[in-house]
Amino acid sequence: MGIVLARIDNRLLHGIVATQWAGRSGAQRIMIIDDTVANNELTKASMKLARPTGMAISIITEETALNNFKAGKYNDHTVFVLVKKPETLVKLTEIGVKVPELVVGGTVKPAEGEEAVKISQRAFAKPDDIEAYKKLKATGTKIYAQYVPADAVISMDEFLK
């Protein structure tokens, strides 16, 4: 068991994720790994309200996530992980956590003149993101872009050569 699906989404848990992706993941637990959200009680409380019925939720810092996975806390759970940056997932794989599938959803559009690749209508990747995606792919993670499950899957392979 462990992570069954991961998603990059700048909004983390919101309506589309709660109503469409959570059920598709088949997970028992949604895990939001984000230092800012985990340390903001108001934002944390609002995200907990968006939790799909029947699913547990964890909103934790990156350090807590790494420590909990190292300790085997989620070995008997199926987990759907939500993060803003792929580097967080790379850190998990570096401690031996398998991330079988990663869907890149909505990311922040780069500022004018900022170097980034447009992956889909709602997903962009900066050079450091591309490097992180390459590291994840090297561990066997299947990576693709898709905003909602009804959208066509966009392969990330051309960006990860």
Q: Where are the alpha helices (DSSP H) in 84-154?
A: 86-94, 127-138
Strand order in the sheet with 56-60: 56-60, 29-33, 78-83, 2-8, 101-104, 142-145, 154-155
What pLDDT is attached to residue 73?
Answer: 93
From the number of C-beta atoms within 10 Å of its C-beta (0-12, 13-18, 19+), residue 17 rates as buried
Cα angle: 7, vertex 8, 14; to 5 degrees: 75
Sequential pLDDT tens for the chain (161 residues): 799 999 999 999 999 999 999 999 999 999 999 999 999 999 999 999 999 999 999 999 999 999 999 999 999 999 999 999 999 999 999 999 999 999 999 998 888 888 999 999 999 999 999 999 999 999 999 999 999 999 999 999 888 87
What pLDDT is attached to residue 38?
Answer: 97
Query: What is the C-alpha end-to-end distance of the chain, expressed in Å?
Result: 30
What pLDDT is attached to residue 46?
Answer: 92
Beta-bridge partner residues of 80: 5, 30
